[in-house]
Structure 1
């Protein structure tokens, strides 16, 4: 039996409510001393590589993974995410 709250049609008023998605490309764990010595040209290494998947979150809930790419037809250099894995909301990713 379908869940009536999961409708994707326009009769559901929640379909037009915007939601903010945070894209996480990685984490850094510098020492506080290193952080205090950072300046405008400092480099902060992350725990991910350029080709690693990014993670998409709504609040603290992981909802998908994807790959960064440049948006075609958009403003030059504008980033986008191509989804490669989407969470099943019953059990997570």
Structure 2
């Protein structure tokens, strides 16, 4: 077995290695008053609690698993957003 390949990826007996999971990427939050929310329409701007250069957070099942930076892909996938990970939670203790 290659040292760079995690055991879970190379284990054909473990069916969980083939189950997709959803990762939620959080870029920020907003807490408008309901009266302000009711005024929103096309072209309204809703400010977030983060700046463009701030890290985004990655969640699985509501649990923070990593942080990263938004990037735009190039080549055939130009214009598509991606996340470059800068911090990853350990299996034992989180970030």
TM-score by length of 2: 0.85
TM-superposed CA distance for 1:51, in Å, is 0.4
Aligned to 1:3: none
Runs of 4+ in 1 over 3 A off after TM superposition: none
Say whether 1:79 aligns with 2:90.
no
5+ residue gaps, structure 1: 1-5
Structure 2: tracts of 5 or more residues without a match:
1-5
User: Would you say 1:43 and 2:45 are equivalent positions?
Assistant: yes
The CA deviation at 1:14 is 1.1
Q: Using structure 1 for the length normalisation, give the TM-score.
A: 0.87
Going from structure 1 to structure 2, the CA distance change for 1:43 and 1:28 (only over 3 Å counts) comes to same
Determine which of 23, 43, 50 is the counterpart of 1:21: 23
Partner residue in 2 for 1:10:
11
Which residue does 1:32 correspond to in 2?
34
What number of residue pairs does the alignment pair up? 88
RMSD of the alignment, in Å? 1.4
